Structure 1
Amino acid sequence: MKTSKALSSTAQSLTKKLSLYFNAIALLIGILVFALSQAGLYWLEDEINKRNLQQTADFAIDRFQQGASSPLTIGPNILAYDSTESLPKQFQQLSQYPMGYNDEITDEIAHDLFFYHASFDFEGDTKPLFLTMEAETVELSSDEWRYINFASLAIMILLYLAFDFAISKLSKRLVQPVNQLSQQLKSAQRETNFSVPEGSALEFTELSNSLNKYRNQNEILIKQEQSFAKYASHELRTPLTVIQGATKLLDKSADPEFQLRQRDRIAKAATDMQHTIEALLSLVKQEQTRENSTSRKLTEKEIKLILEEVSPLAKYKHLKVELKLIAEPEIQPSPPVLRMLLINLLQNAINASDSGVITVEVWESCIKVVDQGRGLNDSEQSKDGHGLGLLIVDALCERYEWQLMLTSGKESGCIAKLAFPNKDETEIS
């Protein structure tokens, strides 16, 4: 049950919970601040009056020492007495308070009266000093306290509303990018890029950019997979068609020479299919580390066998295929993989040429297929423009850490270069 409730929470509900949480905190803080401010005002009012009364004592003592009579009126609110007898009858019990007492009296002796008890020397004797001040005349009235409380409450309410507005805007601003990204993920329109509102936090912008990057990578991988499937289907269907056709032809003629030709066609198609399957399976082998650790020498005989496979197509287009073997390099791909790599490059060169010579150059650090055809256009120079055959070449090159480079010839045509890893390449004209 807890898991289902957690999963059912949405960005909108989280925003409401966050707003409610901070509103509760703001309300509690407001109540505490209001209570503390009221207590502080009461304490400050009493403290000011007590200090005023204590500071008046020196003036009263000086006057009594000069012969002033008791009671002595000081200012509009303070009365000074120099003996117990001079105290009014209702304040006689004030003499019982200890020496140095200075506070507001709120009992039945004297209600709401500030009282200060001290002493002073007069002609060699110690005489008491009593200072009294009516609290009602120096303290704020009930109406004044009411106005202060009303103003304090109004200010607290305004601050609470402002805080609530700020928290609401902030929480929405924090949750809105997540909500927008969620809606975009659910949307059926895949062409629209992920985006967040302007002014969002940097992390949300980086998240949307990462989502766009990953989606683009997925789309590229999907297209590559679809192209790969089409190419593999084509490469496997062609020999199957040859085998099926040759098998049907075997039943139509008893001529031994004719049947021998058909059996040769079947054998060649089966071999081509086997090579294609081995090359394609090499892309998904789990034994990559073991296979990459072994290498073999590329011989002239192996390359000539590959050239013989494309010679019928070259002769049909009146093209000449030449081999320049400068070195016999050490390579890792198996013969079926190398066959698929070179046949794809040679078929592309033949299809792009109407006349001239196609040259296969084998160097210690690379293999080049040079043609004199129509050359490269802008789309063919990008990976998306390689076509199905070169897509397989790209995948195989990545598998063996080779590098495929397509460049235009000096005058015409195209140069397809397979560079080997960990080799110092030499620029060849």
Structure 2
Amino acid sequence: MTTSSAESLTRKFAIYFTSIALMVGVIIYGLSLSMLYWLEDEVNRRLLEAASVTAINDFQIGATAPLVMTNSITAYNDFAQLPEKYQMLDTLPRGFLDEITGENEQGDIFVYRTDYVAEHTKFPLILIMNADTAELTEHEWQRISVFVFGVTSTLFLLFGYALIKLTKRLIQPISQLSDQLHTGRPKQRFHVPNDAVQEFHQLTASLNSYQIQIEQLIEQEHTFSRYASHELRTPLTIIHGASHLLQHNQAPEFQQRQQQRIIKAANDMQNTVDALLSLVKQESRQSASQLTRLLTESEILKFIDTAAELAQKKSVSIGLNMLAEPEITPPEAVLRMLISNLINNAINASDGGEITITVAENYIDVADQGRGLSETELHQQGHGLGLLIVNALCQRYGWQFDLSDAPTGGCVARLTFAS
């Protein structure tokens, strides 16, 4: 299948509309001259018809033929008085009024054939007009033709100019957008001329919006990859280090402590893997939302215990306000990653004080008394690696994640879900 570029489309438009313009110009030129010819003949016919009334009156009061009425019109009331070159006019029917193209010395004439009554006798009436003196000369017709041709050519040029401007407004924005797409420059913003039609500006705005979304998604993907790598490498490092320590110290208490570190790190890595795999499962959100479970206080307390060591180092206490035990759809591994990330971010943003976790019928709040949100966090441009995975998991299960400054200081992270 052959495809056409915008430039070839412009050429096709130009050829197509030029052909139409030429055809319209020829038609206008032909119609204009034809109309002038008809108008000239019609004026001569009416002039003869009007002169016949005067000729009849003159013959009725005794005028004799040939009656010269003007320098181009002569009237006859007897066929015998017609000049030899006009003898063939006696065969014309009554009421004939038209131009006769002459041959040889006769020339072109206009003839009006009718009858009139004088002293109870019918007489024929023949009016002859010399067309050469009544009609426009060849030179005058040439001037008229040049004038009509000039007007037609001017209209053709104006039409062509309008066509070029219209085509430019329609095709040039497409060509520019195509060139900008082919360049493929990073962080490119598309633009079209200011005089382009509104639809092209809307298309450009949509392309720029999609470009920004693509850039954000790519950046989020890179950030997410770094986060996943960090979350998986940390427990592997703990397992690797604890395994080496087990080889150098055989004390039962030390070995038991290292074994607990290995088990905890393995569990954390398993939870991380389960949470990340939940993002790429091919099951639909509707089918996932049908699998609900009850969120209990003991489950939240387990999440708090995993962050107890970090909270102790920063002199931060963690409290739980269990207002309800809601039904939720995310499995324990996913919820652990959600809550743990929110708790860890709250601890990292605090230099003491208390973190309060509130569980209600349709939301979970994690409020701290730390430094509050940064400028980038206020504009939702990023909350760190941990909160990026929170956003991704919330989108997967149809939850809403919000981060805002608390009225009393610090910030509040809220997970909102359907009750």
TM-score w.r.t. length of structure 1 = 0.93
Greater shift in the superposed pair: 347-356 or 24-33: 24-33
Q: Tell me the distance in 2 between the aligned counterparts of 1:360 and 1:142.
A: 105
Amino acid at match of 2:402: M
Change (3 A) 1:418 1:90: closer
| Aligned match for 1:168, one of 164, 167, 191 | 164
Q: Deviations over 1:323-373 (max 9, x none)?
A: 222221111111111111110110011111111121212222222212121
Matches within 5 A, 1:328-343: 328-343=325-340
Output one character per residue of 1:120-161: Cα deviation in whole Å (capped at 9) or x when no partner: 111111111110111111011111112112222222222222
Structure 1 position 227 matched with structure 2 position 229 = no
Residue 155 of structure 1, aligned match among 151, 154, 172: 151
Identify the range of structure 1 (60-69 vs 258-267) with the bigger mean alpha-carbon deviation: 258-267
Q: 2:254 aligns with which of 250, 253, 258?
A: 258
Distance 2:263 2:246 in 1: 13
Partner of 1:267: 263
Q: Does 1:74 align with 2:83?
A: no
C-alpha displacement of 1:188: 4.5
Determine if the alignment matches structure 1 residue 202 to structure 2 residue 183. Answer: no
For the residue of structure 2 that corresponds to 1:358, the secondary structure is strand
Matched, 1:414 2:411: yes
Among 226, 238, 243, the residue aligned to 2:239: 243
Q: CA RMSD in A?
A: 1.7
**Offset at 1:192?**
4.1
1:397 to 394, 401, 414: 394
1:180 correspondence with 2:180: no
Q: Does 1:351 align with 2:348?
A: yes
Aligned with residue 38 of structure 1, among 33, 39, 46:
33
Matched, 1:311 2:308: yes
Residue identity in the other structure for 2:208: N
1:137-156 matches, within 5 Å, as 137-156=133-152
308-317 or 253-262, larger mean C-alpha shift: 253-262
* Residue 298 (structure 1) aligned with residue 275 (structure 2): no
Q: Which runs of 5+ in 2 are unaligned?
A: none
Q: Does 2:37 match 1:62? A: no
Deviations 1:215-270 (A, max 9, x none): 11111111111111111111111111111112222222333333222222221111
Task: Output the CA distance in 1 between the equivalents of 2:184 and 2:89.
Answer: 89
What amino acid does structure 2 have at the position aligned with 1:279?
Answer: A
Q: After superposition, what is the alpha-carbon deviation per residue over 1:62-119, rounded to whole angstroms, capped at 9, x for unaligned?
A: 1111111111121222111111122223222211111111111114494301111100
Q: Say which is worse superposed, 15-24 or 275-284, in terms of deviation.
A: 15-24
Secondary structure in 2 aligned to 1:127? strand
Quick one: which amino acid aligns to residue 353 of structure 1? Answer: S
**Local SS of the residue matching 2:144:** helix
Amino acid at match of 2:179: Q
Q: Report the equivalent of 1:217.
A: 213
Q: Look up the match of 1:12.
A: 7
Name the aligned partner's letter for residue 113 of structure 1. Answer: I
Q: How many residues align?
A: 417
Counterpart in 2 of 1:22? Answer: 17
SS at match of 1:51: helix
Residue 94 (str. 1) matches residue 97 (str. 2): no
Deviates more, 1:140-149 or 1:157-166: 157-166
Post-superposition shift, 1:413?
Answer: 1.7
301-310 or 283-292, larger mean C-alpha shift: 283-292
Aligned AA for 1:335?
E
Q: Partner amino acid for 1:19?
A: A
Q: Which residue of 2 aligns with 1:360?
A: 357
Equivalent of 1:285 in 276, 281, 287: 281
Query: Where do 5+ consecutive residues of structure 1 fail to align?
Result: 424-429
- CA distance in structure 1 between the aligned counterparts of 2:112 and 2:409, rounded to whole angstroms: 115
Alpha-carbon separation, structure 2, partners of 1:252 and 1:345: 37
Q: Which of 80, 88, 105 is the equivalent residue of 1:85?
A: 80
The code of the aligned residue for 2:194 comes to E
Mapped to 1, the partners of 2:45 and 2:203 lie a distance apart of 65
The alignment's TM-score, normalised by the length of structure 2, stands at 0.95
Which of residues 368, 371, 391 is equivalent to 1:371?
368
Percent identity between matched residues is 48
Q: 1:121 to 1:403 in 2, by over 3 A?
A: same
